[in-house]
Amino acid sequence: MADEKVLVPDIGDVDEVDVVEVLVGPGDTVEVDDSLITLESDKASMEVPSTVAGVVKEVGVAVGDKVGEGALIAVVEAAAPAEATADEPATTEEPSAEELAPPAATPVASASEPATPPPSAPEGDWDTELLVLGAGPGGYTAAFRAADLGLRVTLVERDERLGGVCLNVGCIPSKALLHVAAVIDEAAEMRHHGVAFGAPKIDLERLAGFKNDVVGRLTGGLEQLAKRREVEVVTGEAEFIGPHELRIGGEGGRVVTFGQAVIAAGSRPVELPNFPNDDPRIMDSTGALELADVPGRLLVIGGGIIGLEMATVYASLGSKVTLVELQDGLMTGCDRDLVRPLERRIRERYEDIFLGTLVKELKAQKNGIKATFEGGDGTPQSRLFDRVLVAVGRRPNGGLIGAERAGVAVDERGFISVDSQQRTNVPHIFAIGDLVGEPMLAHKATHEGKVAAEVAAGLKSGFDAQVIPSVAYTDPEVAWVGVTETEARAQGRKLGKGVFPWAASGRSLALGRDEGMTKLLFDPETERIVGAGVVGTNAGDLIGELALAIEMGCDAQDIGLTVHPHPTLSETVAMAAEAFEGTITDLYMPKKQAAKS
């Protein structure tokens, strides 16, 4: 076991930067890529990862030090070579500054650069160099990136169309229908402003056609993108039959051997047991998006994002919606002040919303589905519905693909653990997307897919996003990113807060809506933004700026002093920062909070 030094890597144009955090101490065990310290210059901050796995013997820096390239960060007693991956020889040479560069902060190659041979790519005469199982946003991104980096790629997908749940039966078709819902509602609300339209006539066939067309254009586009990259696409249900072998189409099906693989097999809706789930009137999100009819009365079970989005669509199309949620609030995980404007609006529009309520039984009858409830005051014992949407979460597909035959560990729920390079416990097999853990979001999967492809191609990449934004495309939209107030309260963490109510936004009022709010959360000491939430029209499009602000370590001044275009909803971001600073003029702030000079 040799002692290895971890040094400060190339820090760009500046000679010295401040050490603002030391994240390890003597005796700590670190893995490769674990952050050791945080450095900060005027422009940015970066965490410096360990290049060695082992036990920290000595730390060479303290908070407040100024350091330059090559300064000693730590001496690490490297773990025994057996700890190194089977295919990756442990090196005892002192790494160069370039090698020490943090993986995500310093992209090590672009698509145009030739890929270096992957350190873990096992030698062999494989049918394909990289097999990707599953063609959702994570899988196709991994396949395309790997092909761009020079790997021979096979993409296996059980459905005829590429794109997975997101493109075919999830994000995209639901957004097409949510757009239609928003137009119907906006048109109706115009009557308050002097423009009245008649009741909408809904031609369900054409509406479904519009949605299918949107999906078809995207999935067709993916086929073209695969072709142009010479990614081989194979259609069929796949399962691993060995560490380097996958069979497609069951017993007697085609066997493909691979050097490396990316598992991107996604998730499926949770079914509630003991319900007549094979009755076509009881739908999951896929069924609800088929738009077979507009039920007179719809029961939505689950007040999460899927339940709330589909309730938005069906309520606008004319269904009387009852929504039942087991917990005491809708969209748990999101701060209550952000959910409140949504809840206020939908309580007026839906037949009922029952919180803290369990659906005990669903009984298929000729005249409908009879639901029996167990809830608080005001919850009826039972009610009859034309259709029921069950949206009570999704479960990962890790247990359905024979992963154990490849040696990949899958937990009892179907999740597969990965390291920051998306490697499973089998070093040449990666996993990404819904089946590696929450949040189950397409944009997380695509980023993970890129990392897996880059690592498979021999690049030093890693997943080190600080935050992943969440968006509910309801009306109003609700979006949040980073630390929430609820979370901070539970941890006893103090936060500074700046709030801008959209009732003071000219743009919001001009849209005929005033219930929105933009909230920024700051570390009270550094005044850096650590979290944000937006509720209101297009909140989902505003949250990206705030995710970037967190990633860049912006403080309230950075945000407030950035000139935002007027009149836009994006101004509310700057104004919330100004509200925190006490420099806002579009609101009256009490004297004691008013501007510091």
Residue 74 neighbours by CB distance under 10 Å: 25
189 vs 271 by CB, closer to ligand NAD: 271
For the chain, how long is the longest CA-to-CA vector?
80
Q: Lay out the sheet containing 368-374: strands in order across.
A: 358-365, 368-374, 382-385
Residue 595's alpha-carbon distances to 103, 267, 466, 499, in angstroms, are 40, 50, 30, 15
Q: What's the CA gap between 597 and 589, in Å, rounded?
A: 15
Burial of 227 (0-12, 13-18, 19+ CB in 10 A): exposed
Question: Token pair for residue 473?
Answer: 């495309």
Cβ proximity of 171 and 442 under 8 Å: yes
Cβ proximity of 36 and 50 under 8 Å: yes
Residue 477: HSE in the Cβ half-sphere, 13 Å Cα cutoff? 22
CB of 303 to ligand NAD, least distance (A): 5
The string of DSSP codes covering 45-58 is EEEEEPSS-EEEEE
248 vs 441 by CB, closer to ligand NAD: 441
End-to-end CA distance of the chain: 56
Residue 510's alpha-carbon distances to 146, 554, 583, in angstroms, are 47, 30, 25
User: Which positions touch ligand NAD (CB under 6 A)?
Assistant: 272, 301-307, 309, 324-327, 332, 358-359, 391-394, 439-441, 471-473
Calculate helix-pair angle for 305-317, 171-189, nearest 10 degrees. Answer: 50
Q: What's the CA gap between 388 and 321, in Å, rounded?
A: 10
Q: What's the CA gap between 415 and 402, in Å, rounded?
A: 13
CB of 473 to ligand NAD, least distance (A): 5
Q: What's the CA gap between 234 and 222, in Å, rounded?
A: 14
Q: What's the CA gap between 481 and 172, in Å, rounded?
A: 21
CB of 305 to ligand NAD, least distance (A): 4
CB of 479 to ligand NAD, least distance (A): 9
Amino acid identity of 81?
Answer: P
383 vs 460 by CB, closer to ligand NAD: 383
CB of 494 to ligand NAD, least distance (A): 28
CB of 471 to ligand NAD, least distance (A): 5
394 vs 423 by CB, closer to ligand NAD: 394
Cβ proximity of 354 and 375 under 8 Å: yes
155 vs 288 by CB, closer to ligand NAD: 288
Which residues have C-beta within 8 Å of that of residue 112, sequence separation ≥ 6? none
CB of 440 to ligand NAD, least distance (A): 4
456 vs 472 by CB, closer to ligand NAD: 472
Burial of 447 (0-12, 13-18, 19+ CB in 10 A): buried
Q: What's the CA gap between 480 and 486, in Å, rounded?
A: 12
CB of 265 to ligand NAD, least distance (A): 15
Q: 3-state class of 392 per DSSP?
A: coil
Residue 114: HSE in the Cβ half-sphere, 13 Å Cα cutoff? 2
CB of 376 to ligand NAD, least distance (A): 13
**In the block, residue with structure tokens 């409908």:** 368
Cβ proximity of 129 and 257 under 8 Å: no
327 vs 379 by CB, closer to ligand NAD: 327
CB of 72 to ligand NAD, least distance (A): 43
CB of 325 to ligand NAD, least distance (A): 5
User: Does the annotation count 566 as an active-site position?
Assistant: yes
Catalytic residue among 179, 443, 447, 566: 566
408 vs 472 by CB, closer to ligand NAD: 472
330 vs 459 by CB, closer to ligand NAD: 330
Q: What's the CA gap between 308 and 263, in Å, rounded?
A: 30
The string of DSSP codes covering 287-304 is HHHH-----SEEEEE--S
Which residues have C-beta within 8 Å of that of residue 40, sequence separation ≥ 6? 17, 18, 20, 46, 553
134 vs 427 by CB, closer to ligand NAD: 134
157 vs 309 by CB, closer to ligand NAD: 309
Question: Token pair for residue 62?
Answer: 């303290």
Q: Give CA 61 to chain center in angstroms.
A: 35
- By residue count, the chain amounts to 597
> By beta-carbon distance, which residue lies closest to ligand NAD?
304
Catalytic residue set: 566
